[in-house]
Structure 1
Amino acid sequence: MHKIVVILCLFVALAASSEQDVLELTDDTFSSVLKQHETTLVMFYAPWCGHCKRLKPEYAKAAEIIKSDDPPITLAKVDCTEGGKETCSKYSVNGYPTLKIFRGDSVSQDYSGPREANGIVKYMRAQVGPASRTIKSVDELNKFLDTKDTTVFGFFEDPDVSLAKLFLKFADKNREKYRFGHSSDPDVLAKYGETEKIVLIRAPHLANKFEESTVKFESSSESELSTFLKENFHGLVGHRTQDTIRDFKNPLIVAYYSVDYVKNPKGTNYWRNRVLKVAKEFVGKASFAISAKDDFQHELNEYGYDFVGDKPVILARDEKNLKYALKDEFSVENLRNFVEKLLEGELEPYVKSEPIPENNNAPVKVAVAKNFDEVVINNNKDTLVEFYAPWCGHCKKLAPVFDEVAEKLQDENVELVKMDATANDVPPEFNVRGFPTLYWLPKDSKDKPVAYNEGREVDDFIKYISKHASEELKGFDRGGKSKKTEL
């Protein structure tokens, strides 16, 4: 009877989640279901968790992509607030979402990979089987290459040659980054006409008339292979995702539109081919990519775009990481002219900025991107600048302190400045990773801002500024003590 109940529970759990290919597990089904699967990625979540809500559609998409893989990979989830409370407690789940990889019903390791669909797929595929798949026939090779992933493939007549050993060693080290396969089968070698060769084989959906679908590695060292893949993996115009952002170097030109190689590969390549037509003219001078507009709305917002229509929006960064936008409607000719001017330094950078304040006479001056040089760099004063966010609790607590310090120093050659770093571009020399972030800039060396990491009470600021001011303050000595005496 107990077995029948368990089977019924399993059936209900599997049926409920069949639409999205993610198994919904509970305390009753967790162990028995996982025993049926070789490798399972489990997401422990809470329905109210914002991070979980953002991850769920990516997780479901990854499950759909990976469901027919061989070796098999399963994606599952456990609601820690309802039917999975005991399981979540057993595996010490303290935050949401928590992801763990299981071999059978035993936990193997914590998941530390990307949180978007393609990244999840790539990471999990690297967790199963050997680092490089051994291909034993032409039919098996054809099936292996029928994929959305670019493949690094080794053709070795003799599997004991030094290049083959280098290939397998490299594959083992980079199994989470690239997809590897190799063969010594005579028919496979004959089809490709290759022996003792490593070849980059681009995914079929990225094939185009502007570049070869295969690129041969002509050297023999591990470092050279690493460089070869970095330079060639994404081709002339790569598909830039959240998982591959770091692969693309400046100067970089990105086309943002409805990139979707699952539901609309033809439409995706329609625009990519037009970008390719321009990219082939600038090989070695700039990097090009396409990105899904919905996945990179935060980047579009940084350039002032709240909406992207049917045609691509072109955004770029130069070698100094300054931002540029093609304001004209997308066309091959407009893109070509834009890239030429970008590389020649003939474009005005795009700067996200609030309007310059009409009145800036308060003790704490307000800087925006458009007046930053005037208010901070060229004010001929020692300057303490605060980069803040309006929603930041620590910033709100600091505001009256900052005001009081500024009032005490109104007669000094010192300026206190604040800037909303969420509404304005921060100059690249200021490393703002949290709020509030403060920098001290001596008047004669504004090119060398110093991070302020001291206390945040009025006396702390007074002591610091008194000590580091270019000239001794009129109202305070170098120790921060007031020079005024009461009568």
Structure 2
Amino acid sequence: MQKLVVSVALFFQILIVKAAITELNDENFQTEIEKYEVVLVIFHAPWCGQCKKLMSIISQIDDNLQKNIPPVDIVTVDCEYEAKVICKKYMINRFPMLRSFRNGKEYGKFEGSRDVKNIVNFVRWETAPPARKLENFENLEEILQTENRVCLVASFQKQNELESTFLELAEKLRQKMCFLYINADVNSLRLYQNPILRNKFEKTFVEYDNLNNISSLEHFISSNYHGLVGVRTLTNTDDFKLPLVTAYFKIDYDINPKSTNYWRNRILKVASKYKDNFNFAISSKEDFFSELQNFNVPPQSTPVILVKLESNEKFILKEYFSVEKFDSFLHDVLHKKLNPYLKSQKPPQKQDSDVVVAVGSTFYDLVIRNSNDTMVKVYVDSCVHCKQIAPIYKEIAKMFRDEKITFIKVNYMKNDVPVAYEPVAYPTIYWSTRENRMNPIRYEGNRNIEDFIKFIAKHASIELKDYDRAGNSKVIKTEL
């Protein structure tokens, strides 16, 4: 009964917002949805907090969509009680989800932030022709400003391969960018940057000069779409490839674009110097709060800079941002003068005499810069095998106290390790010599003392005092 009351309450909330918004169910969804040329469908659940937030702005969305040419209606679907079959059919696995339907068939999936502007633009771009033909380019700048997004602008002779590829891409990428074209005697293609991101460090457009190989046009678009410093959001993170330099700060191109571009332009100044070495992006520190939390970054008003390399190593600018500090930081990262950032516990105040505890912040000093050979055990607290091997590992460490070997353990659940030392199972044990720290040898033998001795004897930089290279004891046993 309580569930029914909640569902009815949400249903009437929708009706109060706008009578024209229809709630569909399993029985009438297919027949009703086919009556619309284009319709926006909101899949929701009564218990969903984000759904309630969306319902609070649904009247504004509807008002804007009624002004669209052609007008577009909204329908809602309750996946919890009224339309379980339909929601399963369309694989609705989170709420709310917004889809566009055209003539009864699913057409587009909304994946942006759920505000009025983004949702209205999603529908507008779904209903507009994928490519817009112009008579000429006299008013091109005005059109680009109105579109306010990336645009591919073309001129080509009628009915050639360039035109057909252009129109195919327009259909495929209609939600991502705009496509404008004229018919002319000369073939050309230019990718124009979003007007709000224009700056003095790069051109307004990039020319596609490989017209004889039109198959690479989509790659050209993806490579140049974001410009030198792109705006990385929660929905486009896959666009930004490693090695990536990301600046996190307050980004608001709707209300305060001047302040946003103030910082972006300073990022651009340095990015233009290192564009052949790194990819660059800016991200909202509010949207990526959890990402920044992993790096223990204190609140600050200036951008936070994070570098992630293809090796998965991460570097963070610990000082307050300035152009000079940013430049110096990237120089040091590029020339391998900095230690990567590693998540870390506090180092123990007192160490065991046999097995040394390493944490993220001490790993480089205890392992990488150690003058001894090192054996490193990477473990987690919950691992049964880790607990079983602990006394054996300690016994081995005691046996080799007089050798130039340091035995180390690190808790991987609470500390990061360099990529070369990441575990493949628990525990994972590595051996690294003084000459080859970043290419350690993984121990794959049995977890008993004899096999450990043979492994260490074979791989030690200097032959052991009490064992030959095969692991045989050098001590001559004498009988009494």
- Quick one: which amino acid aligns to residue 300 of structure 1? L
Structure 1 position 213 matched with structure 2 position 204 = yes
Q: For residue 228 of structure 1, report the CA deviation from its aligned partner.
A: 3.1
- Quick one: which amino acid aligns to residue 411 of structure 1? E
Q: Secondary structure at the match of 1:359?
A: coil
- Quick one: which amino acid aligns to residue 175 of structure 1? L
Q: What residue in structure 1 maps to residue 231 of structure 2?
A: 239
TM-score, length basis structure 2: 0.68
Alpha-carbon displacement from aligned partner over 1:430-463 (angstroms, at most 9, x marks no partner): 5579xx7543424568755688999xxxxx9669
- Quick one: which amino acid aligns to residue 385 of structure 1? V
Q: For residue 418 of structure 1, report the CA deviation from its aligned partner.
A: 4.1
Q: What residue in structure 2 maps to residue 167 of structure 1?
A: 166
Q: What residue in structure 2 maps to residue 294 of structure 1?
A: 286
For 1:58 and 1:159, the matched residues in 2 are separated by: 47
For 2:163 and 2:90, the matched residues in 1 are separated by: 43
Quickly say closer, same or farther: Cα 1:431–1:233, change in 2 above 3 A.
farther
Q: What residue in structure 2 maps to residue 279 of structure 1?
A: 271
Q: Secondary structure at the match of 2:207?
A: strand
**Matches for 1:293-312 after TM superposition, within 5 Å:** 293-309=285-301, 311-312=302-303
Q: What residue in structure 2 maps to residue 354 of structure 1?
A: 345
Q: For residue 87 of structure 1, report the CA deviation from its aligned partner.
A: 4.8
Q: Secondary structure at the match of 2:47?
A: coil
Q: What residue in structure 1 maps to residue 474 of structure 2?
A: none
Structure 1 position 151 matched with structure 2 position 151 = yes
Q: What residue in structure 2 maps to residue 439 of structure 1?
A: 428
Q: What residue in structure 2 maps to residue 385 of structure 1?
A: 378
Is residue 385–residue 427 contact of structure 2 (8 Å, CA) maintained in 1? Answer: no
- Quick one: which amino acid aligns to residue 199 of structure 2? N
Q: What residue in structure 1 maps to residue 396 of structure 2?
A: 412
C-alpha root-mean-square deviation of aligned residues, in Å?
5.2
Q: For residue 349 of structure 1, report the CA deviation from its aligned partner.
A: 4.2
Structure 1 position 425 matched with structure 2 position 449 = no
**Matches for 1:221-236 after TM superposition, within 5 Å:** 221-222=213-214, 224-236=216-228
Quickly say closer, same or farther: Cα 1:453–1:443, change in 2 above 3 A.
closer
Q: What residue in structure 1 maps to residue 476 of structure 2?
A: none
Q: Secondary structure at the match of 2:378?
A: strand
Percent of aligned positions that are identical:
26
For 2:150 and 2:22, the matched residues in 1 are separated by: 28
Q: What residue in structure 2 maps to residue 368 of structure 1?
A: 359
Alpha-carbon displacement from aligned partner over 1:23-62 (angstroms, at most 9, x marks no partner): 87666885576443625454354626xxx7599779979x
**Matches for 1:30-429 after TM superposition, within 5 Å:** 34-35=33-34, 36=36, 38-45=38-45, 47=47, 53=50, 67=65, 78-85=77-84, 87-88=86-87, 91=89, 95-97=93-95, 99=97, 101=99, 103=101, 106=104, 108=106, 114=111, 116=113, 128=126, 132-137=130-135, 142=142, 146-156=146-156, 158-171=157-170, 175=173, 178-184=176-182, 195-220=186-211, 221-222=213-214, 224-309=216-301, 311-317=302-308, 321-347=312-338, 349-361=340-352, 366-373=357-364, 380=373, 383-386=376-379, 388=380, 396=382, 398=383, 401-412=385-396, 417-421=409-413, 423-429=414-420
Q: Secondary structure at the match of 2:395?
A: coil
Quickly say closer, same or farther: Cα 1:233–1:466, change in 2 above 3 A.
same
Is residue 46–residue 96 contact of structure 1 (8 Å, CA) maintained in 2? Answer: no
Q: For residue 356 of structure 1, report the CA deviation from its aligned partner.
A: 1.5
Is residue 58–residue 116 contact of structure 1 (8 Å, CA) maintained in 2? Answer: no
Q: For residue 403 of structure 1, report the CA deviation from its aligned partner.
A: 2.0
Quickly say closer, same or farther: Cα 1:244–1:468, change in 2 above 3 A.
farther
- Quick one: which amino acid aligns to residue 244 of structure 1? N
Alpha-carbon displacement from aligned partner over 1:145-191 (angstroms, at most 9, x marks no partner): 623421223222x232333234345556x537842414235xxx6xx
- Quick one: which amino acid aligns to residue 232 of structure 1? N
Could you tell which deviates more after superposition, 21-30 or 340-349? Answer: 21-30
Is residue 114–residue 123 contact of structure 1 (8 Å, CA) maintained in 2? Answer: no
Q: Secondary structure at the match of 2:409?
A: strand
- Quick one: which amino acid aligns to residue 389 of structure 2? V
Alpha-carbon displacement from aligned partner over 1:191-249 (angstroms, at most 9, x marks no partner): xxx94111101122212333322222111214543453344222222111233333334
Q: Secondary structure at the match of 2:394?
A: coil
- Quick one: which amino acid aligns to residue 266 of structure 1? K
For 2:80 and 2:154, the matched residues in 1 are separated by: 48
Quickly say closer, same or farther: Cα 1:274–1:450, change in 2 above 3 A.
same
Q: Secondary structure at the match of 2:387?
A: helix
For 2:364 and 2:319, the matched residues in 1 are separated by: 29
Alpha-carbon displacement from aligned partner over 1:234-290 (angstroms, at most 9, x marks no partner): 222211123333333455433211112233323322322333334334443443321
Is residue 254–residue 289 contact of structure 1 (8 Å, CA) maintained in 2? Answer: yes
For 1:418 and 1:103, the matched residues in 2 are separated by: 53
Q: Secondary structure at the match of 2:131?
A: strand
Structure 1 spans left out of the alignment, 5+ residues: 1-8, 389-394, 455-459, 479-487
Is residue 55–residue 115 contact of structure 1 (8 Å, CA) maintained in 2? Answer: no
Is residue 249–residue 285 contact of structure 2 (8 Å, CA) maintained in 1? Answer: yes
For 1:288 and 1:417, the matched residues in 2 are separated by: 36
Quickly say closer, same or farther: Cα 1:249–1:54, change in 2 above 3 A.
farther
Could you tell which deviates more after superposition, 371-380 or 142-151? Answer: 371-380
Q: For residue 293 of structure 1, report the CA deviation from its aligned partner.
A: 0.7
- Quick one: which amino acid aligns to residue 352 of structure 1? K
Q: For residue 17 of structure 1, report the CA deviation from its aligned partner.
A: 5.3
